[in-house]
Amino acid sequence: MLGHPGTEVVVVDSDERFVRVLLGERPRVAVVSVPPAGPDALATAVVERSRRPALRLVLVNEPADVAGRLHALEQGFDDALPSTIPANELAGRISWLLARPRLRPTGRLSVAVDTELDPVAHRIRRGGQEVHLRPKEFALLALLATHPGRVFSRRELIDRVWGPDFEGDPRTVDVHVRWIRSKIETDADHPANLVTVRGTGYRLDPPGL
């Protein structure tokens, strides 16, 4: 539906279930429809967004409730739309939110504990110290960092980092991932951030995702 491999859509019909799914399953995007959502769902969504900046929030409400949409944007929602929005436009907006790079105000991207990637300066810093990455390592990590939580297959990573004409061993991705883990993970043998999605590929789960 959203154009992202592995995307799962969960629909709930009460504030209680919404809160349980939001806190328990930690979705990347939460669409809050008013009605049926009430004050508890809205308040919980705002609080969870403050604790988990990578969470994306979208409000859908009655077309006449312009004030409600403006208030939601003031509270930190990423988008606020009337319920008359076509389903394909809503799906497209959600896909755009999922794909949008999540830069910090400084322009740096968090990739691991106390480790940041600066896409402009082309640098990685860990604990204030610069970390050396080879060009392909940096490009691979930068791609994953600008799409936190998204799973990329090895083929996708090769096409985007090495180019579609690359004819080498696809397992070169695995080698580069091991090198990157040795430089950014607290425990490279048990990675907490650059994780393997068995049978698919890799994703980056930065702190706070």
Q: What is the DSSP letter of 173?
A: H
100 — pLDDT class (breaks 50, 70, 90): low
Q: What is the pLDDT of residue 102?
A: 56
pTM over 0.85? The answer is: no
Q: What is the pLDDT of residue 101?
A: 57
Q: What is the pLDDT of residue 77?
A: 86
Q: Which of 77, 70, 71, 96 is nearest to 32 (CA)?
A: 77
Structure tokens at 167: 């004819």
Is the pLDDT at 88 greater than 60? The verdict is yes
Is the pLDDT at 123 greater than 80? The verdict is yes
Q: Please report where in the chains the tokens 């990157």 appear, as a residue.
A: 180
Q: Average pLDDT of the chain?
A: 84
- 172 and 202 Cβ atoms separated by less than 8 Å: no
- 51 and 40 Cβ atoms separated by less than 8 Å: no
Segments forming the whole domain that contains residue 41: 15-99
Opening angle at CA 203, ends 93 and 201, nearest 5: 110
**Contact residues for 114 (Cβ-Cβ < 8 A; gap 6+):** 126, 127
Asked which of 31, 65, 99 is the last residue of a domain, the reply is 99
Same domain for 63 and 117, yes or no, is no
Q: What is the pLDDT of residue 176?
A: 96
Asked which of 67, 99, 131 is the last residue of a domain, the reply is 99
Same domain for 86 and 135, yes or no, is no
Q: What is the pLDDT of residue 1?
A: 37
Lowest mean pLDDT among 74-83, 101-110, 135-144, 190-199: 101-110
Same domain for 82 and 117, yes or no, is no
Q: At what angle do helices 39-51 and 66-75 cross, to 10 degrees?
A: 30
* Average pLDDT for 117-135: 86
